[in-house]
Amino acid sequence: MKEEEKVKEKIMSALEKFSKAMVQPLSYISVAGMILVVGVLVTNNAVVGLLPFLGWDPIQLVGNLLYQCIMVIINNLGLVFAVGIGAALAKKDKHQAAMVGLMAYFMFLVANNTTLSTNGLLAEANPMLGLYGTGQSTVLGFQVTDMGVFSGIILGCLTGYVFNKTCDASFKGYWSMYSGTRFSFTCMVGVSILMGVATCYVWPVVQHGISALTNVIASSGAFGLFLYGMLERLLIPTGLHHLVYAPFQFGDLGGTLALGDKTIVGAYPILLTELQMGVPFSDSIYYMGTGLAKTFGYIGICAAFYYTAKPENKKTTKNILIPLVLTATLSGITEPIDFMFAFIAPGLFLVHSIIAGTFVALLKVFNIHSMTTGLINSFLMNLSAGVERTAWPKMYLLALAEIVVYFVVFVFIIKKFNLKTPGREDAVAVEEENGSAKTVSTSNDGVAEAIIEGLGGRENIENVDNCFTRLRVKVKDASLVNDTVINKVKNSGIVKKNNDIQVIFGIEVPQIRKAVDAALKK
């Protein structure tokens, strides 16, 4: 039994590291998406028709520049992941690891293309469909085995692993030039070439497996979407939800779109491409439906928290919840709210996940092809795309129903089981919590020192990182972590997984991480 637990811990630790690494490039992609929306809206014919001044050539030039410059990133996510994941996994000298990851990706492309060419395996492009359906694609000018983002993800993981194992290598004499990170690069030359050759023969088998999985999900219809939406929410507390949505939104599982000799892969790039082209949206858009709960569902959740809060705590609860629900509704960042009840009331969080998955499935049931993420962005994009393409009035009716369902169900469960959700703690406890928070200086130095002390001191901290909302820290001895000291700094929860500690701060976490890094260097 103990052996099984050790294996389980190792698997969960590996998944945690991978998920944390995925967050780094995805954080930039989220920002890129916000910029891309501007380019799409400015150059959209329907929007220009409503606002004729947008047709002015300089404005159209800016819109096209924004669209094309961001799309080059979206279309080359493999490279982004190779560099980003490699750097994120590196324990030190992250900039060097990023450089190694970049070079490894180029070598992989050349090795793969050379192997295909030498062995007569290059596919012939169809005049109409290009390389679509051949199992190959063109990446940065090289015709290679079509791995989508998986090439970058795999190479990024390999880069991080090899770099950590080899970056401290030291040689003497003539061989000294191969020491350190240069030895890491040397090793990745062999790894990249080997992967480039192997994938020519191995990946086609994987492609068949992916196609089969896609078919299973597609054949599951609304039930498949239910599972997709439920798991994406359910795994939020573990930080592993990226493993659910990323393959669909950015990989083959989310569908493909053939455009001449170019193939668009993943629900997110497909959505943006179809929006720009003005064509009907494909069913890939349903994999973006997780935004329905983020944008609207949390309104019902927070309303339920406020409604069930004790009278003496309502004002405080309202002040806490309003900025959090605005963040969720406008940006889709929900972790600050999730961690307010995920561990206090895990059964309620399970119900939350089920409701979220149900409404993703209902998008398909009612044949709704609307954008759902971000209240303002989704409204503008749906309006520009038109009712015929999106059926957006039905989406907003469904969103209203989701708010009501969340409110009614949450109020019932909270009261039925007397759950200690926000605002239902004793007034004294709230005052004590607020008072303890005030004991920390509001300066960055004061906050950082409190966090470091709570994590067991400088000597106990091995690595500090962050994702969208969480400060992620690896400590040497988890028993030295003092929750009481950490909680002197306002946060939304502390998650412990062996030696991996996560403190939920919300969208201000980059500033907190910067302050902690600076304090550790003193």
- CA dihedral angle for residue 191, residue 197, residue 198, residue 203, rounded to 10 degrees: 120
CA distance 127 to 390: 31
pLDDT band at 34 (very low <50, low <70, confident <90, very high): low
Q: What is the pLDDT of residue 468?
A: 67
pLDDT tens-digit profile of 281-313? 999 999 999 999 999 999 999 999 999 998 888
Q: Give the residue numbers annotated as catalytic, written as ranges.
A: 467
Residue type, 139: V
Q: What is the pLDDT of residue 240?
A: 61
Q: For the chain, how many residues are written?
A: 522
Q: What is the pLDDT of residue 433?
A: 40
491 torsion bin: left (phi>0), alpha (psi -120 to 50), beta (else): beta
With a cut of 60, say whether residue 16 has pLDDT above it.
yes
Distances (CA, A) of 148 to 138, 153, 247: 10, 9, 10
What one-character-per-residue DSSP string does 70-95 give? HHHHHTTHHHHHHHHHHHHH-SS-HH
Q: What is the pLDDT of residue 316?
A: 78
Give 259's DSSP letter: E
The full set of domains in the chain, from first to last, is 75-220 (no CATH), 234-417 (no CATH), 430-521 (3.30.1360.60)
With a cut of 80, say whether residue 62 has pLDDT above it.
yes
Is the CA virtual torsion 234, 219, 19, 332 positive or negative?
Answer: negative
CB contact at 8 A, 486 and 512:
no
Q: Which residue has the tokens 């304090």?
A: 519
Q: Nearest to residue 305, comparing CAs of 336, 272, 282, 284?
A: 336
CB contact at 8 A, 372 and 286:
no
With a cut of 50, say whether residue 380 has pLDDT above it.
yes
CA distance 376 to 382: 10
Q: Which of 180-189, 250-259, 432-441 has the highest mean pLDDT?
A: 180-189
Q: Is 174 exposed, middle or buried (0-12, 13-18, 19+ CB in 10 A)?
A: exposed
Q: What is the pLDDT of residue 472?
A: 87
With a cut of 50, say whether residue 437 has pLDDT above it.
no
CA distance 83 to 65: 24
CB contact at 8 A, 314 and 355:
no
CB contact at 8 A, 79 and 141:
no
pLDDT tens-digit profile of 193-246? 999 999 999 988 877 776 676 667 767 889 999 989 998 898 887 666 766 787
CA distance 362 to 186: 52
Is the CA virtual torsion 335, 505, 29, 333 positive or negative?
Answer: positive
Task: Tell me the three state secondary structure of residue 474.
Answer: strand
Q: Nearest to residue 137, comparing CAs of 216, 92, 199, 87?
A: 199
What one-character-per-residue DSSP string does 284-296 give? GGGGGTTHHIIII
pLDDT band at 344 (very low <50, low <70, confident <90, very high): confident
Residue type, 257: L
Q: What is the pLDDT of residue 383?
A: 87
Q: What is the pLDDT of residue 466?
A: 81
In this structure, are strands 470-475 and 142-145 parallel, antiparallel, or unpaired? Answer: unpaired
- In percent, the amount of the chain with pLDDT more than 90 equals 39
Q: Nearest to residue 203, comparing CAs of 112, 74, 97?
A: 112
CA distance 241 to 339: 14
Q: Is 423 exposed, middle or buried (0-12, 13-18, 19+ CB in 10 A)?
A: buried
CB contact at 8 A, 394 and 403:
no
Q: Which helix (H) or strand (E) holds 267?
A: helix 267-277
